[in-house]
Amino acid sequence: MSSVRDEIQAMVDRETDAWDRQDAEALVSLFHPDMVWPWPPGPDGHDPENWVFPLGRYDRQRWKDGWDALFASCELVHNRRRTVRIAVSEQGDGAFAVVDVDTLWRHRASGEPFHWIGRACKGYTKVGGEWRLIFHTGLLDYGQTGRSA
The pLDDT of residue 142:
87
Domain containing residue 10: CATH number: 3.10.450.50
Kindly report, residue by residue over 11-48, the tens digit of the pLDDT: 999 999 999 999 999 999 999 999 988 888 888 888 88
Angle at CA 147, nearest 5°, toward 142 and 149? 90
The sheet carrying 113-127 orders its strands as 31-36, 130-136, 113-127, 94-107, 74-88
* In a domain? residue 145: no
Report the number of distinct structural domains present in the chain: 1
* In a domain? residue 147: no
Predicted model pTM: 0.89
Could you tell me whether strands 74-88 and 94-107 are parallel, antiparallel, or unpaired per DSSP bridges? antiparallel
Kindly report, residue by residue over 65-75, the tens digit of the pLDDT: 999 999 999 99
Say whether pLDDT at 146 is over 50. Answer: no
Residue 92 structural domain: 2-136
Instruction: Please state, in angstroms and rounded to a whole number, the distance separating the CA atoms of residues 66 and 5.
Output: 30
CB 91 within 8 A of CB 69: no
